[in-house]
Amino acid sequence: MSRAVCPGTFDPLTNGHLDVIGRAATMFDEVIVAAGVNESKNRLFEDSERVEMLREVLASYDNVSVDTFDGLLVDFCRARGAVAIVKGVRSPGDYEYELQMARMNRRLTGVETVFLPAAPEHTHLSSSLVKEVARLGGDVSPFLPASVHRRLLVRLGL
Ligand code: PNS
């Protein structure tokens, strides 16, 4: 049984995240999507709402579950018996940053990181940019699952 963790902030989940999670679900027997909570980052959505959105969107994936984690990602992976962390990579800049974390995580507990190149149609996507564009009146519906888009508009009072 191979189990992987797809970690992230998911504030909110984008179609780019969804693509990576779906691809991970074809590579591993089980995938745990792990939303980081209680970190210092400013969030638009509460922890509980980020998890709710993930569960709504991922309900149809039989081998994908959603959970939260606090503290070190490697501790969560070890507790869940995950052999790999899966991350999407959009650019060389992403890779530089992710590579250092991957090496540190491997050094800490031996957990491997698998990088999936973001699909070309998603390389411009990030949760932060989507929020900024939406706040300034741009149409972000092509970038988000429909239920997430609805919640984003409500949250931004649009
Ligand atoms: O969606 P994000 O913001 O890129 O997700 C980042 C996240 C939550 C995956 C990353 O910040 C993380 O792994 N945080 C857990 C804390 C940790 O383990 N830090 C040491 C990394 S080597």
For residue 40, the model assigns a pLDDT of 66
Cβ count near 28 (within 10 Å): 21
Record the pTM.
0.97
Ligand 1 centre to CA of 158 (Å) is: 30
For residue 80, the model assigns a pLDDT of 98
Ligand 1 centre to CA of 45 (Å) is: 17
- Average pLDDT rounded to a whole number, residues 40-45: 85
CA atoms of 1 and 140, how far apart (whole Å): 38
End-to-end C-alpha distance for the chain, whole angstroms: 45
Of all protein residues, the one whose alpha carbon is nearest to atom 4 of ligand 1 is: 8
Residue 85 · residue 113 · CB < 8 Å: yes
- Per the residue annotation, which of 50, 87, 122, 127 is the catalytic one? 127
Q: Specify whether 17 is catalytic.
A: yes
- Average pLDDT rounded to a whole number, residues 19-44: 93
Percent of the chain scoring above 90 in pLDDT: 96
- Per the residue annotation, which of 90, 122, 131, 151 is the catalytic one? 90
Of all protein residues, the one whose alpha carbon is nearest to atom 8 of ligand 1 is: 8
For residue 38, the model assigns a pLDDT of 77
Report pLDDT digits (tens) over 77-120: 999 999 999 999 999 999 999 999 999 999 999 999 999 999 99
Taking alpha carbons only, the member of 105, 106, 153 closest to residue 131 is: 153
Q: Specify whether 122 is catalytic.
A: no
Q: How confident is the model at residue 42 (pLDDT cuts 50, 70, 90)?
A: confident
DSSP strand pairing (30-36 vs 84-89) = unpaired
- 41 pLDDT more than 90: no
- 39 pLDDT more than 90: no
- Average pLDDT rounded to a whole number, residues 139-154: 98
Burial, 67: exposed, middle or buried (Cβ in 10 Å; 0-12, 13-18, 19+)? middle
**Ligand 1 site residues, Cβ closer than 6 angstroms:** 7-9, 36, 72-73, 101, 104-105
